[in-house]
Amino acid sequence: MSMTITEKILAYHAGPKHVSPGDLIEVKVDMAMANDITAPLAIKVFKQTGVHSVFDPERIALIPDHFVPNKDIGSAEQAKLMREFATEYHIKHYYEVGQSGIEHVILPEKGLVIPGDLVIGADSHTCTYGALGAFSTGVGSTDLGVIMATGKTWLKVPPTIKIEYEGHLQPWVRGKDLILFTLRTLGVDGANYRALEFSGPVIKTLSMAQRFTVTNMAVEAGAKNGIIEPDEIALAFVDQRSHRRPFVCTSDPGADYENVIKIVVDTIEPQIALPHSPANVRPLSEVPHISLDQVFIGSCTNSYLEDLREAATILKGRKVAKGIRLIVIPGSQLIYSEGIEQGIIKTLIDAGAVIGPPCCGPCLGGHLGILAEGERALSTSNRNFMGRMGHPKSEVYLASPAIAAASAVLGCIAGPEEL
């Protein structure tokens, strides 16, 4: 019987030849991941199971990225607990500050996820890895603790919504704009416990960085996972980083989709998500010149070298507007280093940006850029809920790095064409 790519990966990890939406299955996990916020509770649950070893010390990744470098005593204690657990149980993929970065950037960068993998992470944006043709989804820390002990979990097979993008992208329109436009179409609950399969000729033209951005925000529509069929671009990315053999599969021609949505991109312009929802999206031309206090370029959505390079291209020879704080945080130590080597970081600094250490930073209201009452920020991150980046009476707008860079120069929400 015909299956979607999501169903094929789940069947492969569960055992039966065929699975259908609604089936309850037990699956083997290729990689389990947690961060400095979610790992401590998962570790507590793991120890309550009574087992004396993790299921496989080479298939667990622990990434301190939310409150690091430690911002206070509480975050230091959480990081210490995770560090000690990694040492005690010989966790191979524990990455300390100075080696690390944002979890969803680090795992693909280090070749820990390849096509066909089944990845479970104690973080909602684990769906990012679907850009490589993997099934990846977020769970709570309790589930993750049991997974670290058993290497297995249960899932309900999700129905799939297919999004087909056709046409030709306009200047300055990137993957971030495509997913924001899609969220406006679906709403925040339009894909509840569905697989979102992103497809069509436009997707095939996107770089890996842009694909990661698209799948990263699938969860903002309530999706269980986002996924893109692996092609030569994805396989080349993996081949440079992993020696494991990928399980490459695609959806069958007769696969049963709950819905197929066709989006013609020809007239899509840069998109802005207004407070307080990533689905409250308007085209840039319909957004007034809203004054800003802060611009943030970073997060697991848009902290790739490509993102920093595009921002630097716009900022080169220009200065950040007076009264604007421009915060740039590379997604990993490698991206930071390459940004220095290519002159990208210097360009950003010369323009007036402050560069933070590779971590999540202000994305979740953690640190390195918290907003005060009444302040407005334009961010390349994935969520702009009330109080997401600080005070509940602050405002967060979401956009691409190109829009963020131009807005930092002009002091208000605006596009590169206005420079």
Kindly list the structural domains of the chain, giving each domain's residue range(s) and its CATH number in brackets, ordered by start.
Answer: 5-262 (3.30.499.10), 274-418 (3.30.499.10)
pTM of the model: 0.97
> What is the pLDDT, as a whole number, of residue 1?
86
Token pair listed for 252: 């069958």
Which residues lie closer than 8 Å to 5 by C-beta, 6 or more apart?
Answer: 133, 197, 227, 229, 249, 250, 251
> Distance between CA atoms of 83 and 89, rounded to whole angstroms?
10
Per-residue pLDDT of the chain (419 residues; tens, 9 = 90+): 899 999 999 999 999 999 999 999 999 999 999 999 999 999 999 999 999 999 999 999 999 999 999 999 999 999 999 999 999 999 999 999 999 999 999 999 999 999 999 999 999 999 999 999 999 999 999 999 999 999 999 999 999 999 999 999 999 999 999 999 999 999 999 999 999 999 999 999 999 999 999 999 999 999 999 999 999 999 999 999 999 999 999 999 999 999 999 999 999 999 999 999 999 999 999 999 999 999 999 999 999 999 999 999 999 999 999 999 999 999 999 999 999 999 999 999 999 999 999 999 999 998 999 999 999 999 999 999 999 999 999 999 999 999 999 999 999 999 999 99
> Distance between CA atoms of 180 and 174, rounded to whole angstroms?
10
> Distance between CA atoms of 398 and 344, rounded to whole angstroms?
23
CB–CB of 80/98 below 8 Å? no
> What is the pLDDT, as a whole number, of residue 247?
96
> Distance between CA atoms of 386 and 372, rounded to whole angstroms?
13
> Distance between CA atoms of 399 and 419, rounded to whole angstroms?
17
- How many other CB atoms are there within 10 angstroms of residue 17's CB atom? 8
> What is the pLDDT, as a whole number, of residue 72?
96
- How many other CB atoms are there within 10 angstroms of residue 201's CB atom? 12
